[in-house]
Structure formats: C-alpha cells, structure tokens
Amino acid sequence: MSNYHTKTVTELSAMLQAGEVSSVELTRFFLDRIKSSDDKLNSFITVCEEEALAQAKESDEKLKAGNAPALTGVPIAHKDIFCTNGVKTSCGSKMLDNFISPYDATVVTNMRNAGVVMLGKTNMDEFAMGSSNETSYYGAVKNPWNLKAVPGGSSGGSAAAVGARLAPASTGTDTGGSIRQPAAFCGITGLKPTYGRVSRFGMIAFASSLDQAGPMAQSASDCALLLNAMAGFDEKDSTSIEKEVPDYSADLDKPLDGLRIGLPKEYFAHSEGGMDAEVEAAIKTALDQYKAMGAELIEIELPNSGISVPVYYVVAPAECSTNLSRFDGVRYGYRCEDPKDLNDLYTRSRGEAFGAEVQRRIMVGTYALSSGYYDAYYLKAQQLRHLISDDFTRAYEKVDVIMAPATPETAFNIGEKTDDPISMYLSDIYTIAVNLAGIPAMSIPVGFVNGMPVGMQIMGNHFEEAKLLNVAHKYQQATDWHTRLPEEFK
Amino acid sequence: MSIEVDEVKKIAKLACLNVEEADVQAYATNLSNILDLVAQMNAVDTTGVTPMSHPFDAVQRLREDVVTETDRREDFQAIAPKTEDGLYLVPKVIE
C-alpha cells in the first residue's frame, strides 16, 4: 500500500518531476482515499473523478516532455466558493445547488496554469458565513481528529480534507478567519494573504473589502509553493494589487536571529471568553521555541482589538447584503415554484434558498445600510476599522511579526454553538482584526489539547507573506506537530 | 437594542426575503442580540477619524471603455431557470 498521503506537496512535486510516480497514479490514490473515507467527514460537495484523471493524464505528458511547472500533476481540492467552468459551484447553498459555472475563477485558472489537478470541490459554510461548517446546505463537516467536533469554518471542508490527507492541499478563503480558524482546528497550515494579493475574480463574493483567498496545506513550504501559483495582479478584479509577486519559497530557510515577535497583551489577557489555559500553555511553548531560535519576544498593544468583532458584524453583513442581492432567481440559481408575480419570485426564491444564518446577515446588513442608520453603523464601523488598522501600523514599527493564538479554544462539538450566533461569532475573536486591517496572517499547528490540535497565528505587515512563511517554516523544521495525522486516517 | 417583530418584517421586505411567520420571532431575538454586540462600537470615540473603505485607502482602478467580453449569451442562458428566444422569463410585470 502506498503512503502518498503522508507526503507534502513539496515532496509529491519532487517525486513527479523525478518520474518516481505518475500524476494518474497519485490522482487515483487520492480519489480512492476520498471514496473510502469521506463518508466519515463529508468534506467534499463534488468529486471530479473524470476531469481529474483527464488532467492527470495531460500532466503526465507535460512531465514527460520536460520543463513542466513545479506543481504539475499535484492533485489538490478547491473550496466550493471558486467558480469552476463546467463543474457545479454551490458555495454551500441551496441557492446555487443547480449552478454549473460557465467560467473559471482566476485562482482556478492560475492553479491550472501551474499544473495542478483538481480532485473536487470542498464543503463550506453557506456563502462562507459561519465558523463551524454547520451552515452548509450539504450538511456539517466533521473534524478528522474527533468526528463529533466541528472542523471550523467557513473553509471547513478544505481543512478537514487536508487534515485527513484526502487531498495534499486545498484552496480556501478568509473573510474573518475562514482559513486560519479551520486550519487551527484541523491541525494544518493556512495562510490568508494581504488583501488584493490574490484575485477575487470568480470567487463568490461575501464581504468584498475583506475577502481574500489563500492556501491550506500541510506545511509552510507547501503554502509558499501554492501561493506562488495563486498570487498576482488580475485586471478582472478592480481591487487586485499591481505589485510584483516574489518567489515565496526563496526565503524559507532564512535564520530567525534577531526576529522581533510582538505579543499583543490584549490577546493574552485572561478575560471571559478569552484563551483556554491549555491552549495558552501550548502557545507559550511555541514562543519558547522561537526564543531558542534567536527571536526576541516583545509585549505590544493593539488597544482597539476588542472592538473588532462588533465592527466586523457591521461591515461584513452590510457588504454581504449588497453582494447577495444578485441572487434573484432570474438568471441562474434557485427559483421558487409557481411565482405569482415578480416580487413573489424574488422574495420566495431567496427566502426558500438561503439558510437562516445567511438571512440573518442579509437582514443585519440591510438594517445597517438603511436610511437613517448608515452613519450610526456602517460609517462608524469604517472609522473604527481605521483605528484597528492604525494599531497594527504602529505595532509593526517595533516588531517584525505578531504572534497570538488563532482561536480561544480547540474545536468545539457539532451542535454546541448553533443556537447562539453570538458565541459562534466570538470564536473568531483573534482572527477578525487581520481582515479589517488587510494584513496577511497564518495559522500553524503548535500542539494538542486533549487530542485536538492547537493553532498559533502569525501576523505580518502588508505584503510580508514571505516573512510569515519563513517564520513558520523554521518552526516546522524544528518541530513535528504539522506532520501528525489523526489515528483514523493514518 | 431591541428589534421588534414588525421591524423584522420591514427589514425582510427591504431585503427581498420571504420570512415565514413562524420564524419572525426568532429573527427578532437574534437580530436584537447581534445589534447589542454591535452597539459596543459606541464605547469608542471616533470624532474626526476618516472612515476606511479599503485596506490601502486605494481608489477603484478604471479600465479603457472598450469591449472585452465575448458574446456568451447561450452559455449563460443555459443555466437560467427560464428563457425564451434569448430572453429571461419572469412573471408578467405590466398588465
């Protein structure tokens, strides 16, 4: 029995290039793994067996011909938020259950150009609105480390699939923590790049000023390879940044001597809803490791971080209510039966096809943007967003990176927070400020509490993804948390 | 901040959402709780702070006003709920 699932993208890519394995063999291996194990996890919405094998065959020809790009033939999964030409793109919603995208997202195009094979589309919270993957129309995803626990969200299917090694890597998106929180819960490495670094074209919009796509993988060096393929200017995305893409793999091994690590005292404060003591212990052990590698730990202040969750729950719903107004039952997606007039068609199609959390957020956003309330909500939130962003700017004058927990606790149980949206929202308490400021951040596995993975967050200044990857990679060279596999998926 | 049942109905109407009568009370409770959370914003004075709409305070890039899209009407209408002669069909709007 082969053990390809224990190999990283970096290793698989080297094996493919050396001709030690064919892409068809690898792709079959992972398709079989999905077939035999995904009924436990529900991490995929669509598996693209035929397309994947055709792409794999093509990849093998390119590899044989020589000069194939680094990721040629590596099978990966895409979050079902990315439009994929000819393949169902549901965004986890009944609204798009019948939607076969007529075009590819730029991320999908870029990855294909880099040579990757698409295994399928992963489960997610409906329209990326959720922190547990329980709002999906296709049912909850289970955490590979404990099938009673959530994998996190909204990129929960991606995190569970990579955590269980049903795919060597996946794409994800992060609006308030949707890459980092599930990465932490499933013991994998996830990176949310700087806002504008990766194109949003064809990535179904939730909150346009916050959404950003990124890689979810087994290691920082894998994330570097994947980001190399994903990132870049795209004229089809009006907020895409025209800035050269560095080689994210180039600086991975740079020594960390003299690295200044900021520890925000607000994130480490012992308050209600704050960090679990055992999570804190795991984080402290990781910080000691960094100290041993030559880094300096400096306490810093992010005084407005406490306000980030309230600010997010104005900005994100407001933008979501605007973005989701496009789903009208006319041009694509769900349409209700026998509409009696046009208004009935709109309201019933939307009412029947959107789940409760999506409807809640649309209504909060509609309220916040409605006449007479705009200044008190959206404008106020945008002002506070500036203060939150300024906190980070000041901090990066003193430190190179900021470290903090990714989540206050390890993965909670399925059903535990579904009746209380607020407690669900607060599970993103440490990740949201990053999106409001538009900076890049990662989550890396740094230990376990009661058998469940703990994630540590590493935040960087705008466009410093290479530094984050370097900082994460050095830790992963010295530790083996990121190589651990759940017993059931070994 | 408390949102009443009538207000939920008004917001739902604005948002073009058909909310079942049985669900209105639950939405009222949840929306009220969310707005209570959001009200924490008022604890911070933001007098004179510029609102931030984009992480880099950038403006939207404009492109030349030229045709860049090809005509793919048939592909796009193939996924529509109802079309006829290249048009999207909806219930009659004008009597």
Phi-psi region of A95 (alpha: psi -120 to 50; beta: other; left: phi over 0): alpha
Q: What's the pLDDT score for residue A479?
A: 98
Mean pLDDT of the region A107-136: 98
Whether the per-residue pLDDT at A240 is higher than 80: the answer is: yes
In Å, how far is A128's CA from the nearest CA of chain B?
18
User: Does some domain include residue A125?
Assistant: yes
What is the nearest CA distance from B29 to chain A, expressed in angstroms? Answer: 11
Is B16 strand, coil or helix? Answer: coil
Residue A454 lies in a domain: yes
How large a percentage of chain A has pLDDT more than 70? 99
* Type of residue at A246: P
Nearest CA in chain B to A344: B18
A79 tagged catalytic: yes
Could you tell me which chain A residue has the CA closest to the CA of B44?
A384
Q: Taking the domains of chain B in order of start, what are their residue ranges?
A: 5-43
- Which 3 state secondary structure label does DSSP give B29? helix
Query: Cβ A366–B31 below 8 Å, yes or no?
Result: no
What is the residue-averaged pLDDT of chain A?
A: 97
Average pLDDT of the residues in A242-266? 96
Averaged pLDDT, B76-88: 96
Name the band, by pLDDT with cuts 50, 70 and 90, for residue B54.
Answer: confident
The confidence score (pLDDT) of residue A63 equals 97
What pLDDT, on the 0 to 100 scale, is given for residue A274?
Answer: 77
Catalytic residue among A7, A79, A417, A467: A79
Residue A347 covered by a domain: no
A154 an active-site residue?
yes
Query: In Å, how far is B13's CA from the nearest CA of chain A?
Result: 8
Which pLDDT score is estimated for A275? 87
Mutation target to probe the A interface, by most A beta carbons within 10 A, among B3, B90, B95 is: B90
Supply the pLDDT for residue B62.
Answer: 84
Phi, psi dihedral angles at B43 (to 5 degrees): -70, -15
Residue A273 pLDDT: 66
Residue A333 lies inside a defined structural domain of this protein: no
Mean pLDDT value of segment B3-9? 95
* Count of domains observed in chain A: 1
Alpha carbon distance A184, A275 (integer Å): 14
Q: Assess whether pLDDT exceeds 70 at residue A95.
A: yes
Percentage of residues of chain A with pLDDT beyond 90: 96
Residue A32 counted as domain residue: yes
A102 vs B13, B76, B92: nearest CB: B76
Q: Which residues contact B26 (CB under 8 A, 6 or more apart)?
A: none
Considering A13, A132, A178, A308, which one is annotated as catalytic? A178
Answer whether residue A304 is part of any domain. Answer: no
User: What is the reported pLDDT for A1?
Assistant: 62
Report the alpha-carbon angle A154-A85-A183, nearest 5. Answer: 20
Query: Do B78 and A102 lie within an 8 Å CB cutoff?
Result: yes
What pLDDT score was predicted for residue A272? 66
pLDDT at B95 over 90: no
Alpha helices, DSSP H only, in chain B?
A: 5-14, 21-38, 73-78
d(CA A20, nearest CA chain B) in Å:
41
Measured CA to CA, the distance from residue A389 to residue A386 in angstroms comes to: 5
Write out the two tokens for A351.
């009412």
Mark yes or no for CB contact A304/B52 under 8 Å.
no
Residue A218 lies in domain: 4-258+401-489
Average of pLDDT values for A24-32? 98
CA distance B90 to B14: 20
**Other C-beta atoms lying within 10 Å of the C-beta of residue A169:** 29
Collect all residues of chain B within an 8 Å Cβ-Cβ radius of residue A393: none
**Residue of A42, A33, A249, A9 whose CA lies nearest to A159:** A42
Specify the pLDDT at position A380.
97
Q: Tell me: the pLDDT tens digits for A405-433?
A: 999 999 999 999 998 999 999 989 999 99
Handedness of CA A56, A58, A59, A60 (dihedral sign): positive
Residue A464 placed within a domain:
yes
Higher-confidence residue of A421 and A5: namely A5
Nearest to B38 among A304, A377, A389 (CB): A377
- Taking CB atoms and an 8 Å limit, are B56 and A321 in contact across chains? no
Distance between start and end Cα atoms, chain B: 43
Residues of A with CB below 8 A from B91's CB? 339-342, 344-345
Going by DSSP bridges, is the β-strand pair A44-47/A117-122 parallel, antiparallel, or unpaired? Answer: antiparallel
User: The tokens of A128 are what?
Assistant: 């990326």
Residue numbers in B near A356 (CB within 8 A): 23
User: What pLDDT was estimated at residue A332?
Assistant: 97
pLDDT at A78 over 90: yes
Burial class (CB in 10 A: 0-12, 13-18, 19+), A479: middle
Choose the weakest-confidence range: A144-158, A413-427, B47-61.
B47-61
- The stretch A481-490 carries a mean pLDDT of 96
SS3 label, residue A149: strand
Identify any residues that bridge with A297 across adjacent strands, giving them in sequence order: A261
CA-CA distance, A476 to A447, in Å (whole number)?
12
Task: Summarize the confidence of residues A119-131 as an average pLDDT.
Answer: 98
CB contact under 8 A, A307 and B40: yes
Residue A284 is among the residues annotated as catalytic for this protein? no
CATH of the domain at A100: 3.90.1300.10
Query: Which residue of chain B is at minimal alpha-carbon distance from A320?
Result: B15
| B5-43 to CATH, choices 3.40.30, 1.10.20, 1.20.120, 3.40.50 | 1.10.20
Task: Answer whether A146's CB lies under 8 Å from A400's CB.
Answer: no
Q: Could you read off the pLDDT of A343-362 as tens digits, one per residue?
A: 999 999 999 999 999 999 99
ipTM computed for the complex: 0.95
Interface of B with A in 20-39 (CB under 8 A): 20, 23, 27, 30-31, 33-35, 37-39
Question: Testing the interface with A: which of B4, B13, B16 to mutate, by most A Cβ within 10 A?
Answer: B16
d(CA A364, CA A316): 10
